[in-house]
Chains A and B, each alone.
Chain A
Amino acid sequence: MDARFVETLTPFLPFLHGETITEDTPLRTYGLDSMQAIELMFALEDSLGVSLPDEALVEETFATAGNLWAATRAAQGADAVTAGTESV
């Protein structure tokens, strides 16, 4: 996952208590509620310049960090990748 993605995601997980975010990290378990999901979506738009399409806004997308990262990457498309987004 992209470092900036993880950095953007972290404040939305109040029960993370310093643990490392992995692809399997369950976002709801760590405190992402439906209000925060909207704020997170706006934050991803601001920090990564990516807008998740309406079709991606299902429960599954917000189930784990990996799912959200996959949806984010899909939305970024080829342009964002060639623009130098690094994977970690």
Chain B
Amino acid sequence: MSAPAQAAPAPAGFSSALSASLRAEVDQVAALAARHATDHDDRAEFPLAVLDALRPRLLGLLVPTRYGGPGGSVDDLVDVTIELGRADMSTAMVFAMHCQQVAAIAGHAGPRLAAELLPEIAAGRMYLASVTTEAGKGGHLMSARAELGARDGLLEIDRFAPVVTGGLHADGYLITMRSPQARSDGEISLVFARRDQVEVAQRGTWNPLGMRASHSIALQLTGRVPEDQVIGEHGAFRRIAMNTFGPLAHLGWSAAWLGTASGALARVVSVLRGPERSRSDFSSELLLTRLSTARQRLDTVHAMVRYTAGAVRRAVEEDADLSHPRHQLLVNALKLTASEQCHRAIDDLVTALGMRHGYLKDSPTGLERALRDLRSAALNYSNDRLHLADGRLTLLDQEVRYA
């Protein structure tokens, strides 16, 4: 009996049209990430073997087909990131943030730079790190202190960044800096630097509470790059941030957090239903209510992730303006909700399972690591700062319409 020539149905967890072979690759990488997760967490080491496994096809997920990529969508990014997050949040964050950089290049780089970089990314030779944090600006994305120098057709980079995820292992960087001769801190350029164009020096050590394998160290970058390595044009970062960087960051992070919490809940249910199930009191209303609440939180985040991904995809397809307050509010609300609810869900589960399976490092539930990892979510672009931005945006949307 021959199978009809049609796409295989998407397995549970995948909503998009990701090809069957890519899905199989995601499963392999997730399994590898799961195997290495405890070691990398213990040693606070970047998951180099997992990055190598991502290289052949997945690092190029968002590269358009005309540049040799699979032309993956925002929905594909969400699908893959959730699956990686089930295994290891650091891996999922590294992947999602790389894809955010790729989207910025695909959407905003000039034709020469796009033609140079995108095929390399599709071929898995270019893992990109994001350099947007800066000391003294309180995590404010739309502000930059260090200024690009401009001399003899070259741009001079001298930039300290306190948090660069995977920065020591990147093949290239997208760096925000004050535009040359900028009048204000709000005039920001996004510039690409290849690893061999800059001197990369680690500053300090990396020994955090969670997200330990993301190896988000402080870096000093110095070097010179050709003028045409500016993404878009000088001062274009604000537009890139509103239309690409912000939406994809919040979608990617939220997917990573949702994946982390989903993986933890799955392992909890597995333990509860496993050989030790006689120890659990399934008539306990407290246990049932806590399981229900955790699941409710994750379904809420999942619905928001999917809805926001759809809104962003439609906006991109229709060339709509994502800078409108109602779009920004949706994307920000997703980040706020996902960061709070995924962490709360795991906290509920720790309470539900108690000292042994809720709190011990070596419990097969992995709740201990998930809780530490997810504690970073509200800090990774501070929710406090995001609420201030949303307060202003709320004042601008007098009619209260929704994206």
Contacts and interface: CB of A to CB of B under 8 A. Distances in A.
B344 interface: no
Given A58-B321, A59-B238, A38 B184 contact: no
Given A33-B186, A34-B142, A54-B398, A59 B242 contact: yes
A38 B324 contact: no
Given A28-B238, A29-B235, A58 B184 contact: no
A26 B389 CA distance: 22
Contacts of A33: 142, 186
Counting chain A CB atoms within 10 Å of each CB, the highest count among B186, B239, B399 belongs to: B186
B397 interface: yes
Interface of B: 142, 182-184, 186-187, 235, 238-239, 242, 321, 323-325, 389, 392, 395-399, 401
A65 to B, nearest CB: 14
A59 B239 contact: yes
Nearest to B323: A59
What bracket does the count of chain A residues touching chain B fall in?
10 to 19
Given A34-B389, A35-B392, A38-B392, A29 B324 contact: no
Contacts of A30: 183-184
A30 B235 CA distance: 12
B321 A28 contact: no
Given A34-B389, A54-B325, A57-B325, 7 more contacts: A29-B183, A29-B184, A35-B392, A38-B395, A41-B396, A55-B324, A58-B321
Given A28-B238, A29-B183, A29-B184, A34 B392 contact: yes
Contacts of A86: none
Contacts, number: 52
A13 to B, nearest CB: 9
A21 to B, nearest CB: 14
Contacts of A35: 392
A28 B187 contact: yes
A60 B242 CA distance: 11
Interface string A9-53: 000001100000000001011111111001001000000000000
Contact of B183 (A31, A54, A58, A59): A31
Contacts of A28: 184, 186-187, 235, 238
A63 to B, nearest CB: 9
Contact of B323 (A29, A41, A58): A58
A54 B184 contact: no
A64 B392 CA distance: 20
B148 to A, nearest CB: 15
